[in-house]
Structure 1
Amino acid sequence: MSVMPMPKARVSLTLIAAFFALYFIWGSTYLVIRIGVESWPPMLMAGCRFVIAGALLLAWALYRGAPLPSGRQWLNAGAIGVLLLSCGNGGVTVAEHWGVASGVAALAVATVPLFTLVFARLFGQRNTLLEWGGIGLGLCGIVLLNLGSNLQGSPAGAALILFAAAAWAFGSVWSRRLDLPAGPMASALEMLVGGAALLLGSQLSGEHLQQLPDLRGWLALGYLVVFGSIIAFSAYVYLLANVRPAAATSYAFVNPAVAVLLGVLFAGEHIGWPEALAMAVIIGAVVLISLPQWRRREAA
């Protein structure tokens, strides 16, 4: 009796678990970030989050016998860490500190697949007419999003969160072309360097704690370290190495809905009709540009 199908089953379960972490755990982190920045300075909280998570992952990887990364791998992982975590996640954290609602932040980050497609084109990937149509529709969604009161109340937050989405997308595409360590070691190095850059930014910008965070602030940091970073970010790095970038960024389908629902239920956030319409348009655009990616994957 053959036992060959078992590895396939394990790989399939790993993919399912990784997508679940991206879709639902990451969707919840937008609300948790908003809770955290009520008692933490934003860059200080984000920097602590990633340095702690990166150190834990590094210790675990070394304990499991992972080889030490080369100097080139350190540099490559550091560059990706700055793009994804310092500019990407750090930008979202600061934008929420400036008053952008958690659900609206998730919706703005839903533009990541649109930016991913544009940057993939710069690296030589040809886009179809359907994909270009999705980019155009997504740009309309961004305009609608900026008509809502949430982003009009914080123009700087609106600009910062779109920059964060673009930085995350560029780092995601570029990472597939770099020599990075295998497994959790890549996540560990990216978090350590990205977190260190955030702590440096916190220091240079004059952030400091007025008083120790309350219990909600500490719980928020713990949740972001364990679930948002060690589990969900590691799942994202795994998917980037094993599926197409557009599939890895497909969490943009679900994250806005999860974040909006949690923000309305637990944070008293209100989403107006421009944001609701923008959600429909942006998610429709993401679906449009992702269809060719999934078809190619199925054909392969």
Structure 2
Amino acid sequence: MTSPAVDPAPETSPAPTGPAPAAPAAPGPARRRITGAVWLALGIVYIVWGSTYLGIRIVVETIPPFLSSGARFIAAGLILTAIVAWRRGPSALKVDRRRLGSAVLVGLLLIPGGNGLVVLAETSLSSGLAALLIAVVPVWVVLLRTLLGERPGLGAFGGVLLGLAGLGVLTLPGLSGTVKLSGILLVITAALLWSLGSVASSRLPMPADPFTASAYEMIAGGIAGLGIGLLRGEHHGLDLGAISGRSWAGLAYLLLVGSLVGFTAYVWLLQAAPLSLVATYAYVNPIVAVFLGALVLNEALTWPIVLGGAIVVAGVCLIVSTERRR
């Protein structure tokens, strides 16, 4: 999801998750210093999040989508809360209502909105196709920034057109009946919500400590996801004994590596690095996801996936390269 694209945003986030603000008076993300820690966190997001699509596909084989997503993020958020309190003291978790509300809102957009819908969609879609559909997050980010009064530039809009064209090609399997169109629409909606969360996280007053922000986002989003799962009746007939060992392993991987490590790295990047740089994960994750899906699950690489994916990645590259020059 997981998942923003230009300076969620991801991500996350979120994941989250827009690019540098247009107003000259505002301290734009592009002015942030790119350190070794930034590159390390970016590498984690590149590889870890690319692999989470495979993990999700394995988890939903025998575990309901929203219950698995909600439980994963609640557990990861509580673990991170304990780590923050242990390493920095309980005072590090104290935030005012305004910042707590912002963290909760971003968490709702990124987790049950962005991640939860992807998990639900992967009950009917391949992990590779889901990842490629999520790759259009940069397109939504540019469009959202435009609605907010910014001027991303002609190159960014060219990338938007490419991205939308690629999205159209990727949607062909759903229109032809090869895969469920509802699954494709779920991922497109997830990408939009992830983009909203990513843009919001760069504009709202967030907790100063990114790890505290990440903990609150995961707990709030996880609780919401769990609630959605219960409302959907996912607990009815759920037999823990019938859950496969590989689904349990996949859930543990998503919790510890995908949520605790990957999501936290993403949220930290949103505050520490230019969003245009963070957004580059959007064209690395799909490549990792498609490769792993084909290698581990023998997912087919059809021509719409290959062609549409290539167009989307080209569009994202154009958007990100244009933003990094601004």
Partner of residue 240, structure 2: 211
- Please say if 1:134 is aligned against 2:163: no
List per-residue Cα deviations over 1:119-149 (Å, max 9, x = no partner). Answer: 1222232121111111111111011001136
- Please say if 1:30 is aligned against 2:53: yes
- Please say if 1:156 is aligned against 2:179: no
Q: Could you tell which deviates more after superposition, 64-73 or 22-31?
A: 64-73
1:56 to 67, 71, 79: 79
Partner of residue 312, structure 2: 282
Q: Secondary structure at the match of 2:125?
A: coil
**Partners of 1:219 and 1:285 in 2: CA distance:** 35
Partner of residue 3, structure 1: none
**Partners of 1:197 and 1:252 in 2: CA distance:** 25
Shift of 1:210: 3.0
Q: Secondary structure at the match of 2:279?
A: helix
Query: What percent identity do the matched residue pairs reach?
Result: 41
| Alignment CA distance shift 1:151-1:103 (3 Å) | farther
Q: Give RMSD over aligned pairs.
A: 1.6
TM (normalized to structure 1)?
A: 0.92
Partner of residue 226, structure 2: 199
Q: Secondary structure at the match of 1:127?
A: coil
**Partners of 2:52 and 2:95 in 1: CA distance:** 30
Q: Secondary structure at the match of 2:233?
A: coil
| Bigger helix share | 1
Shift of 1:242: 2.1
2:115 to 74, 89, 101: 89
Letter in 2 for 1:14: A
Q: Is the 8 A contact 1:26 1:255 kept in 2?
A: yes
1:115 to 130, 140, 154: 140
Q: Secondary structure at the match of 1:254?
A: helix
Letter in 2 for 1:108: L
Partner of residue 243, structure 1: 273
Q: Is the 8 A contact 2:152 2:323 kept in 1?
A: no
Flag structure 2 segments of 5+ consecutive residues without an equivalent: 1-32
Partner of residue 221, structure 1: 251
Structure 1 residue runs of 4 or more that deviate by more than 4 Å after TM superposition: 149-152
- Please say if 1:231 is aligned against 2:261: yes
List per-residue Cα deviations over 1:29-78 (Å, max 9, x = no partner). Answer: 00010000111100000001100000011111122221412222221111
Partner of residue 185, structure 1: 212
**Any residues of structure 2 matched to 1:243-262 within 5 Å, and which?**
243-262=273-292
**Partners of 1:167 and 1:103 in 2: CA distance:** 20
